[in-house]
Amino acid sequence: MKAYLTRRYWFSASHRLHCKDMSEAENKEAYGKCNNPHGHGHNYSVEVTVAGQVDPKTGMVCNLADMDSFVHEKILQRFDLENLNTLSEFQGVVPTTENLCVELYGILENGFRHAAVEKVRVEETMLNSFEYAGGREARH
Amino acid sequence: MVYLTRKAEFSASHSYHNPEFSPEENRRIFGKCNNPHGHGHNYTLEVTVKGQVNGRSGFVVDLKQLKDIMNREVIEVLDHRFLNKEIAEFANIIPTTENLAIDIWNRLRTKLKAAELHRVRVYETPDLFVDYFGEA
C-alpha cells in the first residue's frame, strides 16, 4: 500500500531579494522592503514528502533516521544561520522562497535514495508557503 | 467536487518491534521506538471526504454524522490504548504512523454513506505526518 510521509524541519537564514538585471527603481518596485541592501531573515520551515509502498517488515515508507541524517547533512548544515545570497546556489539566482524551494527539491531528488521524493513545501513565514513537486516548468 | 476535512485527536502508545528481526536489528532499525514498554503520542487525525454539495442542505456531508462516525469507529477504539497490545489489527502489524493511517482508512471507508473518503492524514507530532489515499 502506497503512503506519503511528511517530515518538517526548520532553519533560519537571511536573504536579500535583488536582481542585477533590473535598475535600482525596478528592484525597489519588484521587491519592496525585501530589497533592503543589508538583508533580513526568516525562520524557514521545510516539509519534505516522500512516497512509496509501506515495507511490510518495518511498517515504514522510509526510515526517519535516514531522512533526518540526509536533511541534516545536506540541507540544515548548509543553509541554517547563513546568508542565502552568499551561497553558490544563489549567485545567479535571486534567493526567493520559490527558488529556495526548487533548490531544496533538487538536493533531495538528486541525493536521497531511501524513498521517492514527492514534494517539498517551504514556509517563509506563517503566511507564505511554496511547494514544488518537480517538473520542467519550475523556471522560465 | 468539494473536499471537506474534519480533525480529531487521540492519544495512544506504541512500540516498534518485528519478531523476525534479531534484537540487534530491531534496535538498529527502530532505535528508541523499539522500547518494549512503549511510548506515546498525541495524534491528530484529519479525515477528508469528497462529494458534490447537496443542493438543498449546502453540505458535502453532515458534519455531525462525520464527527459521530469518526468518534465511534476511530477515537473510541484507539484513544488511550497501547496499540500493539490492545488493538487486534496491530497484533502482527507494527503500528507505525503509515500503518495507523491505513488502519484508520479501513475503519472508515465502508462506514461513510453520504460522501467518499478521500484522504486520511495522521499527525504523530506537529512535524511528522502520513497521508493515505487508499492506494494499493
Residue of A nearest to B127 (CA): A8
CATH number at residue A26: 3.30.479.10
Residue window 70-99, chain B: list those with CB within 8 Å of chain A.
93-99
Q: Look at residues B134, B98, B119 and name the one whose alpha carbon lies nearest to residue B48.
A: B119
Burial (CB count <10 Å: 0-12, 13-18, 19+), residue B76? exposed
Chain A hits for B130, CB-CB cut-off 8 Å, are: 3-6, 61
- Residue contact B130–A3, C-beta within 8 A: yes
Q: Which amino acid is at B133?
A: F
Length of chain B: 136
Asked if the model's pLDDT at residue A140 lies above 90, the reply is no
| Rounded distance between C-alpha atoms, residue A134 and residue A108, angstroms | 11
Residues of A with Cβ-Cβ distance to B41 under 8 angstroms: none
Q: Which among B135, B123, B132 is positioned nearest to B42, based on CA atoms?
A: B123
pLDDT at A139 (0 to 100): 74
Which residues in chain B touch residue A63, judged by CB atoms under 8 angstroms apart?
29
* Closest approach of B31 to chain A, Cα-based (Å): 9
Nearest Cα residue to B106 out of B79, B76, B136, B65: B136
Question: What positions of B carry a catalytic annotation?
Answer: 33, 80, 124
C-alpha cell at A120: 517539498
- Calculate the average pLDDT of chain A: 96
ipTM above 0.90, yes or no: yes
Residue A30: domain span? 2-138
Cell numbers 537571511: residue: A14
A24 by DSSP, 3-state: which?
helix
Average pLDDT over residues A7-32: 96
User: Looking up cell 541592501, which residue turns up?
Assistant: A37
Q: Which of B18, B20, B31 sits opposite A65 (nearest CB)?
A: B31
Asked if B33 reaches chain A (Cβ–Cβ under 8 Å), the answer is: no
Contacts for A13 with CB less than 8 Å, ≥ 6 apart: A41, A42, A44, A79, A80, A81, A82, A83, A84
Q: Domain B2-132, CATH 3.30.479.10 — does that match?
A: yes
Closest residue in B to A66 (Cα–Cα):
B29
Report the distance separating Cα A102 and Cα B11, nearest Å.
Answer: 36
Q: What is the pLDDT along chain B (136 residues), one digit of tens a residue?
A: 999 999 999 999 999 999 999 999 999 999 999 999 999 999 999 999 999 999 999 999 999 999 999 999 999 999 999 999 999 999 999 999 999 999 999 999 999 887 899 999 999 999 999 999 999 9
pLDDT value at position A80? Answer: 97
Residue A3 is nearest to which of B18, B95, B102, comparing CB atoms?
A: B102
pLDDT at residue B115, rounded to an integer: 85
Show residues of chain B in contact with A6, CB under 8 Å.
128-131
Q: pLDDT value at position A138?
A: 75
Overall number of domains in chain A: 1
pLDDT in tens, A26-47: 999 999 999 999 999 999 999 9
Give the pLDDT mean for A120-129: 96
Judged by CB atoms closer than 8 Å, whether chains meet at B130 and A60 is answered as no
Residue with cell 543589508: A38
pLDDT tens-digit readout, A51-101: 999 999 999 999 999 999 999 999 999 999 999 999 999 999 999 999 999
